[in-house]
Amino acid sequence: METKIISINNVQQDMDSIREAGKMLRNGQLVAIPTETVYGLAANGLDEVAVKSLYDAKERPYYKAFSLQVADVAMVQDIAARVPDMALKLFERFCPGPITVVLPRKSNIPKRVTGGKSTVGIRIPDNEIALAVLREAGVPLAVPSANISSHPSPTSAQMVYDDMKGLIPLILDGGPCNLGIESTIVDCTGNEPMIIRHGAISEKEIMDCVRGEK
C-alpha cells in the first residue's frame, strides 16, 4: 500500500483534502491526523471492520479499548448512555482539549471498539484539522496514537510515516503537535472522577473543576 502525505496549511483553503479524508474514513479506511497532543490514527468508530483494521495496523491486542473522538459536546450524547454532571463540567471546562472522559457506552457502539467493556472514552480534540475531519466524516472516530504499539507516540507526520509506511493510505500533515503529551483519561462512571491515565491536564485541575473550584 502506498502511504500518501498531504500538508494542510489552511483548513478553509484545503477543504478538498479534508473532504477526501472524511470520505475515506466513512468508507472504512484509516487516516492519520494531527491533534494537539500527538498524531492519531483514525478509523470509523461505528464500523467493526474498520476498527479491526486499526487494531491490526497498530499490532494492538484486541482486548485493549480505543477511545472515540467527536467534534462537539452534542455528539457525546450519541455515544454515551449517561452523561453525569461531573462529566459535563469536564467537557465544558477543558474541551476542546487534552482530556478523555470515560462514560457508559450506548449499545450502538461496537464492543470491538471498547475491548468488550461497557464503557467508552470520549474526547474532543483541540486541533482545527482534527475537528474539520470529524465534521466531514460525520461519525465518531476511534483515534489512538498513530504508531505501532509500544513504539513512541508520534508528534509529527514524518514520525507517523516512518512507523506506518505501507500500512495506511493517508497522513494529513498539520505540522508538529503543540503539546506532545497524551490526554488525561478520567473515568466518570462512578460517584467520583478517577484518573486512569495522567496526561496534559493535572489531577488537581480535574478535581477543582468537578468540585466547582477555580
- Segment 135-190, tens digit of pLDDT: 999 999 999 999 999 999 999 999 999 999 999 999 999 999 988 788 999 999 99
- What's the number of domains the chain is made of? 1
Q: pTM here? A: 0.93
List the domain range (segments joined by +) for residue 177: 4-210
pLDDT of residue 181: 83
CA angle (146 as vertex; 3, 154 as ends), nearest 5? 105
| Burial (CB count within 10 angstroms: exposed 0-12, middle 13-18, buried 19+), residue 89 | middle
Which residues touch 158 (CB under 8 Å, ≥6 apart)?
none
Check which CATH number belongs to the domain holding 8 and give it. Answer: 3.90.870.10
